Structure 1
Amino acid sequence: MNTAAAIATPAPVRRAPDTFAIALMVLLCAIWGLQQVAIKSTNGALGPMLQAGLRSTIAALLVFGWARLRGTPLFRQDGTFGPGVAAGVLFAGEFICIFAGLTLTSASRMAVFLYTAPCFTALGLHAFVAGERMRRLQWYGVALAFVGIALAFADGFARHAAPGTSAITGVLGDALGVLGGVMWAATTVVVRATSLSHTSASKTLFYQLVVSAVVLLALAFMLGEPHRVHVTALALVSLGYQAVAVAFISYLTWFWLLTRYMASRLSVFSFLTPLFGVAFGVVLLGESFSTRFVLAAGLVLAGIVLVNAPARRAATAK
């Protein structure tokens, strides 16, 4: 999932996640983990850029309707246009990397590489946002994740070096997954460091969806993808899942959770998403992975947990 817009909604009082919030977070992680499988299963019927553009268009229309229903202004001048366009371009870049990368690598590998985003986010916030300095534990987490990335790339070269395959092509897909994580992190930093941090979550998400829809559909037409469409029932179900379940319902549910519970405690669940992504890739697409990749994924997940670990609070006298 893209968490950039989520951070835009401030909450006056937040509490630690209860059983309901934990169960809901596990469900959301499963929904986000299935997204890579849905994308990959549809790439043969819809071109990757066309698929991504239609996803953003449908979700943008749904967010527009939701905002109108709730009376949330989307077009009022509030100084967010420039940062909003920038966030939208980065959001589009993220999904260019994801959708294109899934034509070159497996959904399981993409899930792990993409969810290095929390580590890149911590680095970006450390550099550009006051009060977001990284702690020693977070530095350890970033280092672990980067070791995991290096090991996973080494595994990718070995896996794709078999006769009749292209090591460069497969590893390029892996690299696009990491670049997608960087784009995701950059979007988060733009939201946190600009006027977008003071606007509604719906408006921030709307910027990202509208701008990305324009960029992705323009790219799809430039590549001639609309002329190579093969509509199937699976493609329609997958597109509906991505647009409605992921980009609309799950994101709004995430925003709702952030208004009531502590973001730092919720974010630690992000490590579950690549686990679900790998599991769905294996079960639904028949993907396989090596022992070395399992170790690499474990290092990345450990890094994510450390990066999201809540800071220790000093005890106060009663």
Structure 2
Amino acid sequence: MTASAAPPVAAPATPPAPAQRRAHLDPRAVALLLGCCLLWGINQVAAKAALTEIGPLWQAGLRSAVAGLLVWGWAMSRGIRLFERDGSAAGGVLAGLLFAGEFACIFVGLQYTSASRMVVFIYLAPFVVALGMPWIARGEALSLRQWAGLLLAFGAMAFAFAEGFTAPGSPQQWKGDALGVAAAVLWGGTTLAIRGTRLGAAPAEKTLLYQLALSALALCAAAVATGEALPVQWSVRLLGLFSFQAVVVTFASYLVWFWLVRHYAATKLSVFTLSTPLFGLLAGALLLGEGISTRLVAALAALAVGIVLVNR
């Protein structure tokens, strides 16, 4: 996203200084993270449910397009300049392509595997961030104790979902699982691309708009190329599911997430995302009356210990 034309004799605008990142998560960051994780825990269920009425590529592409327009309107209303030269174009294109690939994997993969299995594989992403961040910011390398906390947190999450893994799977389930792992690598790569390029100093709105604009173009083009049908009529159910994904999750929660990535240590933020699948279970219990097992309570306790170990 560069300016369409620059004055012939004017020097490029001075790049913004890198944001001062906090080494520890304060109560505001924790509250925002938990809110995002709660929404993300519900999101996979909404995406899976909408697949009965809209194809995966159109669903992913159109939600990026709608959310992108909302981000643009939000930035304009707040006087945030999105198209100035600041050296973030290369990082923005890379992050946008990774973002598009991630959601292509998720939405296509949901056709072959369950939402609960998909969400487990997606949240391998914190390991990608933890492995990659020392190459970008030495101050964010995890200690042995923090690695133990990360492993404990992921183990707690996997333990909570182990009951679901014993159910007989379809012959095509491995395809969805593999796409979930690919999505995790791409999500972790997106976070690393933001932190490792000039995009890390850009406003959160610009960071998100790069990804939404490029993913909307790429995913909608892929839907046309593959002949995926676009719904002629949208039911109230589909409108509700799509609006939740586009407005609440893709616009609001992602805007908060990229603001957090700019201001806090990425490794400590990423470990909190491991709570997302368990929030999905809790939401099911509260909204759908599903039972909470002893296994889930034990997993929540282990998850809390893991997060404390990483963030001490």
Asked if the contact 2:120–2:158 (Cα under 8 Å) also holds between the matched residues in 1, the reply is no
Aligned to 2:201: 198
C-alpha spacing 1:138/1:34, structure 2 compared with 1 (3 Å): same
C-alpha spacing 1:148/1:15, structure 2 compared with 1 (3 Å): closer
Aligned to 2:57: 49
Shift of the alpha carbon at 1:91? 0.4
Asked if the contact 2:278–2:300 (Cα under 8 Å) also holds between the matched residues in 1, the reply is no
**In structure 2, how many angstroms separate the alpha carbons of the residues matched to 1:273 and 1:114?**
10
C-alpha spacing 1:98/1:133, structure 2 compared with 1 (3 Å): same
Letter in 2 for 1:91: F
- Unaligned 5+ segments in structure 1 are 1-7, 312-318
1:211 aligns with 2:214: yes
Say which of 181, 184, 196 aligns to 2:187: 184
Aligned to 1:131: 139
C-alpha offsets along residues 168-188 of structure 1, whole Å, 9 cap, x if unaligned? 411321222222111110001
C-alpha spacing 1:144/1:117, structure 2 compared with 1 (3 Å): same
Letter in 2 for 1:100: V
Letter in 1 for 2:74: W
C-alpha spacing 1:103/1:281, structure 2 compared with 1 (3 Å): farther
Shift of the alpha carbon at 1:83? 1.2
Asked if the contact 2:154–2:303 (Cα under 8 Å) also holds between the matched residues in 1, the reply is no
**In structure 2, how many angstroms separate the alpha carbons of the residues matched to 1:153 and 1:13?**
33
Say which of 300, 304, 307 aligns to 1:305: 307
- With normalisation by structure 2, the TM-score equals 0.77
- With normalisation by structure 1, the TM-score equals 0.76
Shift of the alpha carbon at 1:231? 2.4
Aligned to 2:79: 71
Shift of the alpha carbon at 1:32? 1.6
C-alpha offsets along residues 179-231 of structure 1, whole Å, 9 cap, x if unaligned? 21111100010111111111111111110110111111011111222356562
Q: For 1:23-102, what aligned pairs fall within 5 Å after superposition?
A: 23-102=31-110
**In structure 2, how many angstroms separate the alpha carbons of the residues matched to 1:15 and 1:140?**
18
SS in 2 for 1:225: coil
* % identical aligned pairs: 47
Q: Give the RMSD, CA atoms, in angstroms.
A: 3.9
Aligned to 1:251: 254
Asked if the contact 2:113–2:176 (Cα under 8 Å) also holds between the matched residues in 1, the reply is yes
Of residues 207-216 and 75-84 in structure 1, the stretch that sits farther from structure 2 once superposed is 75-84
Asked if the contact 2:97–2:211 (Cα under 8 Å) also holds between the matched residues in 1, the reply is yes
Letter in 2 for 1:201: A
C-alpha spacing 1:230/1:160, structure 2 compared with 1 (3 Å): farther
Letter in 2 for 1:217: C
**In structure 1, how many angstroms separate the alpha carbons of the residues matched to 2:262 and 2:79?**
18
C-alpha offsets along residues 233-279 of structure 1, whole Å, 9 cap, x if unaligned? 11111111111111112233445667888877766543331112234
Letter in 2 for 1:273: T
The count of aligned residue pairs is: 296
Asked if the contact 1:126–1:132 (Cα under 8 Å) also holds between the matched residues in 2, the reply is yes
SS in 1 for 2:281: helix
Aligned to 1:274: 277
1:233 aligns with 2:233: no
C-alpha spacing 1:123/1:259, structure 2 compared with 1 (3 Å): closer
Shift of the alpha carbon at 1:102? 1.4
Say which of 109, 118, 123 aligns to 2:126: 118
**In structure 2, how many angstroms separate the alpha carbons of the residues matched to 1:150 and 1:270?**
14
C-alpha offsets along residues 117-173 of structure 1, whole Å, 9 cap, x if unaligned? 112211111234333322112333455577789989998875335xxxx3x411321
Asked if the contact 2:53–2:238 (Cα under 8 Å) also holds between the matched residues in 1, the reply is yes
Aligned to 2:13: none
Letter in 2 for 1:193: G
SS in 2 for 1:171: helix
Asked if the contact 2:207–2:258 (Cα under 8 Å) also holds between the matched residues in 1, the reply is no
C-alpha spacing 1:260/1:53, structure 2 compared with 1 (3 Å): closer
Aligned to 2:173: 170
